Structure 1
Amino acid sequence: MRIGVNLLFLEPGEVGGSEALLTNLVRAVGTCGHELVVVAMQGFRAAHPDIETVADVVEAPWSSNLRPLRIAAEHTWLAAMARRRHLDVVHHGVGTAPFVKVLPTVVTIHDIQYRHYPEYFHPLKLAWLRANVPYVVHHSEVITVPSRYVREDVMAAFDADPDKVVVVPFGSEGLLAPSSGADAVRERHGLERPFFLFPGRSYPHKNHRFLVEAWAPVAGRADLVFTGPVGPRDREIDETAARLGVGKGLRRLGLVSRGDLAGLYESAEALAWPSRFEGFGAPVLEAMGAGCPVVASAATAIPEVVGDAGLLLSPDDTAGWTAALDRILSDPGLREDLVRRGRARAAEFSWKRSGSLQVAAYEQAVA
């Protein structure tokens, strides 16, 4: 089987955790004995040179990653390339696909957040998603999703055929680069006190301000570390910390390397992940695999990933979150138990299994 994987949306280093998830999925599929062609933007080959050991990488002949250009290219250049390469199936990795379908199609829908929080989306992007995603669900041969939560959400939203919506959970191995070392990372970023870690840009659904309010009562015993690029709620979050008198303990590290992120997981008291909406929640899996205890939101797909390996609370229960953070700091036995259970839980998420399930989706699409 000749499989094409469309990663034209993936600008290396600019799309967050989905880059690690999808490139690892490609690596897993590439070991399953089929011919694989990855279509990506310029720079992909340099960013992920090892992928050429399992796939033929075709980079686009243009350098701009503007969304209108990409959408136009998917309808024209990509379709022509797929025919030229005699592909049997095309996999679109970001939840949308061309309206003109030339081959059997598999689409990965990571979530349909735009239906739950439309106010978080630019009007033009929202209009595109509202037009394209329902079409994709009804006209693609198979839809793959990362969790049972997203599967149920897609089926309920679009009255989708349950036989064509398939769960392909991500794996845990290789999500992080080799650690830069916990001690070295703490020294490099000036982290002298115990700290809780929350990686990610301050999108509204990530619930950063809520976490600041929950952490404030224990701020005298541990800092709160945020990583990630500048986000839309940063000023509001800083104002909240200042109002509560804990601004000094709120540490913003900005973008950090994947190796430094691994070191932060290793040295944090816990990952604090109060997000209101996740289609999967890769940072939770990263943390558990790195031996970092998890305190997370009991919302959407997060409990499905955490299982019984972390402390799960409502993303609206400020007092409950404060108590959970206090328990992490006060009870070494609890922390050790969460580390043990987290590592075991992360080991259940295998890229080998993910690759096999994804290949089964391709086989279903061409059957």
Structure 2
Amino acid sequence: MHILIVTTGGITRMFRNWPEVLLAKALVQRGHRVRALTYFDAKSDALNTRQENVEGIEVQRIEPNGWLTREFWSALQRGPKPDVIHIQHLRNQFAFQAAYYARRENIPYVVTPIGPLHDQYLSRDRDHPLDTEPLYHNLIWSRREIINRTSRDGRVKRHVENYFMHYPVHHANAVIACSEHERGIWAQMHIESETIPLWVDVPFISNLRGETFHQEFTRPVILFVGQFKYRKGFDVLARAMPMVLEHFPKATFLFVGHSPIHRRELEAIARKDGTHEHLEIVGRVSEEDKVRLYNSADVSVLPTRYEGFGLPPLEAMAAGCPVIASNIPVVDEVVRHEENGLLAPRDDPRAFADAILRIMRDDALRTHLIQNGFETLTRFDEKDLTARNEAVYARILQAAPVVKA
């Protein structure tokens, strides 16, 4: 089968656990031809090569220029016609053109949105999307609705973008949700979907077991891996620091993230609370060093306010690092309280501090969570989940009707 994957920046040599590259490599290993059209970014070490072959994946990168990019359209036209197109990410600026092309050429396509509440038209606040009900009525599904809304408020650019963003999932031959919570959201919009979760590169992580980060930290080490965005809850862990340090005065809080957007706010919280000397901020690290950081940590904390899926808990489990995470939809499908991790109420620094202290003080609980974390990985087996994606491709190939864009 020839599969075209259309995504943002997810197929690189640098980031091993991004969903697209794991799926693409697994498909290549199963004998499929995989071509990928992704974002080009001259300022990014991971995305600044126009064309390359990544472990058998034919990758072409194109600079996005809004929702209609001439170079991307030309790449679709010039490239070999695929059997199936797999579009990743709801906010992918190439998605509309890829879906339109697929329908025009009668190529069946599947969409994996990875987190519908990342959608600015569906969520009132993308940093706190679970605080309010989704704005289902706000989405635009037809060109007629663009005209109707523009006639009322004149915001044509906004309404066209709204339509372009939702066209792919509305017309897809199949939609793959990565959680049951996501599947429920699509069901509210009368869009049928199938749940296939994401996974991580367990063999890669396991092969580095025992290797620690080159820098030493005073213990215990509490690790945060993620972007410094309020949606990720970095501020929740920062505000939990004084309560942990009261009992473990030598603790190190290690924040690892490739997005510096709110680094100053993180440092300001620590300075205000008098915990700045216990704060260590590490910028972008290699995939190998990220695993070594998990290996070096006493606990991994994900105080997130929303996740499309949330890979850090699986990464931590594969590295044998106990997990604490927010008790929110999606995350609770991976982390089960007192079974393979601890769950704490979102936006509750005291609850996160208590969970950290509990793991630090209870060796039996720690061992229990680590062991069950290893067992959890069998629910996210690459061979099984790749086969389920393949089954979707086969089904839509067999059933795809002739349509007009």
Shorter chain as denominator, the TM-score bin is: 0.7 to 0.9
Contact kept, 8 Å, 1:200 with 1:228, in 2: the verdict is: yes
SS of residue paired to 2:18: helix
SS of residue paired to 2:334: helix
Query: Partner residue of 1:79?
Result: 76
User: How far 1:169 moved relative to its partner?
Assistant: 1.2
Residue 167 in structure 1 maps to residue 164 in structure 2: no
SS of residue paired to 2:283: coil
Q: Deviations over 1:117-152 (max 9, x none)?
A: 54659x999877633332122111111121112111
Answer 1 or 2: higher relative contact order, Cα 8 Å, separation at least 6.
1
Q: How many residues align?
A: 347
User: How far 1:234 moved relative to its partner?
Assistant: 1.7
Give unpaired runs (5+ residues) of structure 2. 41-47, 129-154, 400-405
Contact kept, 8 Å, 2:96 with 2:165, in 1: the verdict is: no
SS of residue paired to 1:37: strand
Select the residue among 29, 49, 53 that pairs with 2:54.
49
Contact kept, 8 Å, 2:208 with 2:291, in 1: the verdict is: yes
Query: Partner residue of 1:309?
Result: 340
User: Which structure features the higher share of helix residues?
Assistant: 1
> Any residues of structure 2 matched to 1:125-274 within 5 Å, and which?
130-156=162-188, 158-160=189-191, 162=192, 165-174=193-202, 184-185=212-213, 188-219=214-245, 220-274=249-303
Contact kept, 8 Å, 1:178 with 1:259, in 2: the verdict is: no
Select the residue among 348, 357, 361 that pairs with 1:330.
361
Select the residue among 85, 89, 92 that pairs with 2:87.
92
Contact kept, 8 Å, 1:197 with 1:271, in 2: the verdict is: yes
Normalising by structure 1, what TM-score?
0.84
Select the residue among 17, 20, 26 that pairs with 2:18.
20
User: How far 1:262 moved relative to its partner?
Assistant: 0.6
Distance in 2 between residues matched to 1:279 and 1:38, nearest whole Å? 22
Q: Deviations over 1:315-346 (max 9, x none)?
A: 12332211111111111111111111111112
Distance in 1 between residues matched to 2:380 and 2:240, nearest whole Å? 30
Contact kept, 8 Å, 1:285 with 1:346, in 2: the verdict is: yes
Distance in 1 between residues matched to 2:236 and 2:8, nearest whole Å? 35
Over 3 Å counting, the alpha-carbon distance change for 1:71 and 1:289 in structure 2 is farther
Over 3 Å counting, the alpha-carbon distance change for 1:80 and 1:174 in structure 2 is farther
Distance in 2 between residues matched to 1:228 and 1:293, nearest whole Å? 19
Normalising by structure 2, what TM-score?
0.77
Distance in 1 between residues matched to 2:156 and 2:366, nearest whole Å? 45
SS of residue paired to 2:340: coil
Contact kept, 8 Å, 1:207 with 1:275, in 2: the verdict is: yes
SS of residue paired to 1:202: coil
Select the residue among 20, 36, 56 that pairs with 1:38.
36
Query: Partner residue of 2:43?
Result: none
Structure 1 window deviating more from structure 2 (165-174 vs 233-242): it is 165-174
Distance in 2 between residues matched to 1:326 and 1:8, nearest whole Å? 39
Contact kept, 8 Å, 2:202 with 2:318, in 1: the verdict is: no
Name which one, 1 or 2, has greater alpha-carbon Rg.
Answer: 2
Q: Deviations over 1:336-360 (max 9, x none)?
A: 1111111111232111111111111
User: How far 1:238 moved relative to its partner?
Assistant: 1.3
Distance in 2 between residues matched to 1:128 and 1:303, nearest whole Å? 35
User: How far 1:154 moved relative to its partner?
Assistant: 2.4
Query: Partner residue of 2:395?
Result: 364
Identical-residue share of aligned pairs (%):
25
Distance in 2 between residues matched to 1:334 and 1:111, nearest whole Å? 32
SS of residue paired to 1:348: helix
